Structure 1
């Protein structure tokens, strides 16, 4: 059985591949989903290898990069809604905004150290299997380098502002599924406010933690 720890490492790599790449280029609204993923992944691998601070796991720098560059190209609200499941509708608009912000921060900080592991990897991009009028697609890639090939799939939705990533599949596990049970347990024990507090506390811990390198 695949360990969640190993899956988590590649979750982080995926998130930061998508976000970091946007430093180099800004896709326009007409960019197809597979071209978008190929562009951002290719760019970020070059950017990371050229930045010693990111390789050292400089969390503030990584957080700043993602805050500035990932927001226009990812739908974190939808990601959070999917991770919450039916509980999303039980949250007030203010709580939904808090949860989205805190979950985004958790993902960035939890997996920031994975960026330093980008050394010799290359990415193989699979042909997109989708109809021209599809609004929801999965772009498949495979990371090659250390150890066995690692499948990384990106789920994107076409919006009036272009394609946006809202979920990712690493080694057979979708991102939102990896958090759904944890969120549900927190809510069943402590309510929506309890989940908000849990995410806030976790982010505070991660913000003061030293890089693992």
Structure 2
């Protein structure tokens, strides 16, 4: 699980781009190269994390990701609970990738052509990421078009979906202590991770 989350972190970091990208494949291809350059130039880990966070966050649909990770209980959650869950899950993902980002030495990224209709609003962009000293890692992005912009709603690392991976643990927590219990659990993890 820890390795999967670390690789997901790498995937988050590599996907950033211009807000008006028309094509999901082009978004991933062009901006992955931009982030690779940033990773080569910026030697200060904290500044690197901050810059990548600023560039990455606008391109993820955290509400959809959270809803998919929570699963069926999402439908019966109140608007306030949905908002809290989304905020806490977003914080968890950001802190996770921020803490593991600098441990990877990315050599290159191969973005494969998207096989979808030109007017598709939901696509998967397949990539192979070359990491120093390791076999290439398949990191694939599921994106959907929201208000004419592409947004990531899941990342699949080595065949394992981030959303599906969290759904199991979220489901267990919800069964034991409800949606409010999951919110508390995420808050506790986020507080622990910041050392507060």
- TM value normalised by structure 1: 0.85
SS of match in other structure, 1:130? coil
Shift of the alpha carbon at 1:64? 7.2
CA distance in structure 1 between the aligned counterparts of 2:70 and 2:98, rounded to whole angstroms: 23
> Is 2:102 aligned against 1:116?
yes
Structure 2 equivalent of residue 125 of structure 1: 111
> Is 2:87 aligned against 1:101?
yes
Structure 1 equivalent of residue 162 of structure 2: 175
Structure 1 equivalent of residue 179 of structure 2: 192
Partner residue of 2:30 out of 24, 39, 49: 39
Matches within 5 A, 1:1-213: 4-18=1-15, 21-22=16-17, 26-28=18-20, 30-54=21-45, 58=46, 62=49, 65-66=52-53, 68-145=54-131, 146-208=133-195
CA distance in structure 1 between the aligned counterparts of 2:41 and 2:193, rounded to whole angstroms: 25
CA distance in structure 2 between the aligned counterparts of 1:64 and 1:99, rounded to whole angstroms: 25
Unaligned 5+ runs, structure 1: none
* Runs of 4+ in structure 1 over 6 Å off: none
Between stretches 102-111 and 200-209, larger displacement belongs to 200-209
Unaligned 5+ runs, structure 2: none
Q: For residues 102-159 of structure 1, what are the alpha-carbon distances to aligned partners after superposition, in whole Å with 9 as ceiling and x for unaligned?
A: 0000011122232112424211111111111211100000011331111010000012
CA distance in structure 1 between the aligned counterparts of 2:187 and 2:69, rounded to whole angstroms: 17
**Number of aligned residues:** 195
- Please tell me the root mean square deviation across aligned C-alpha atoms, in Å: 1.9
Does structure 2 retain, via aligned residues, the 8 Å contact 1:48–1:115? Answer: no
Q: Are residues 115 and 137 of structure 1, via their aligned partners in 2, closer, same or farther at CA, if it must alter by over 3 Å?
A: same
